[in-house]
Copies of this chain bind each other. A is one copy, B any other.
Amino acid sequence: MEELIKSILLFREERDWGQFHTPENLAKSIVIEAAELLENFQWGPACDQEKVAEELADVIIYCILLSDCLKLDFYKIIENKLKENCKKYPIEKSKGNSKKYTEFE
């Protein structure tokens, strides 16, 4: 993963794209790519695995760029969120249902 992140940052640097990559523009880019990913499922559940893989990779690449841009620790923020989700969604309340934690009794 470390090598991949370095390659992504080098790709940006070589093109001098850092100037466009403000946090706001990257947040827009993530949602734009996420919607292109969703377009594969616009009319139903079946999908072209290869196209999905490409769009998914686009989302992840922009996520890595935003993380770098805000000097966030890519692994740490995932780890923290997972810990928080474990608290929000205790196994006994959430097992086998898709309720949002705000809907728990």
> CB distance B96 to A16 under 8 Å?
yes
> CB distance B4 to A82 under 8 Å?
yes
Q: Which of B44, B67, B82 contacts A11 (CB 8 A)?
A: B82
Considering the chains assembled together, what is the distance between the CA atoms of A54 and B88 in angstroms? 13
Beyond A63-B56, A80-B57, whether A23 also contacts B38 by CB under 8 A is no
Beyond A60-B78, A66-B56, A85-B11, whether A28 also contacts B23 by CB under 8 A is no
Chain B residues near A23 (CB-CB < 8 A): 41, 45, 47, 52
The 8 closest A-B pairs by CB, nearest first: A35-B35, A57-B81, A31-B34, A1-B1, A34-B34, A24-B41, A43-B98, A57-B77
